């Protein structure tokens, strides 16, 4: 399940302006949890871009997603 909240800064506060929830497809059911997190992040970014009209967005994700995305090409095994 991909879950996300789109927020807008209002001073020092982050005000929610949109919510997203989507069931991942059957193929992803066999994936390890860290790949679920990456897939969910991609879906959430794609949906957020529709609302932000190409403006800069900041994505907050679990540490495991950051670790996977920071891996160099030589270290990737998938």
5-44: pLDDT as tens digits: 888 889 999 999 889 888 888 887 788 877 888 888 888 8
Confidence at residue 16, expressed as pLDDT on a 0 to 100 scale: 92
CA-closest candidate to residue 62, choices 78, 39, 46 = 39
Measure the CA–CA gap between 46 and 40, rounded to whole angstroms.
10
Q: Which two tokens stand for residue 65?
A: 């997603």
Q: What is the pTM of this model?
A: 0.67
Name the pairing type of β-strands 13-22 and 2-10: antiparallel
Confidence of residue 73 (pLDDT cuts 50, 70, 90): low
User: Mind listing the domains of the chain with CATH numbers?
Assistant: 2-75 (3.10.20.370)
């Amino acid at each position: 399940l991909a879950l996300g909240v789109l927020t807008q800064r209002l001073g020092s506060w982050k005000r929610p302006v949109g919510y997203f929830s989507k069931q991942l497809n059957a193929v992803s059911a066999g994936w390890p949890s860290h790949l679920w997190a990456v897939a969910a992040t991609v879906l959430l970014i794609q949906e957020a871009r529709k609302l932000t009209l190409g403006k800069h967005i900041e994505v907050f994700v679990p540490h495991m997603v950051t670790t996977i995305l920071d891996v160099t090409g030589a270290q990737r095994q998938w």
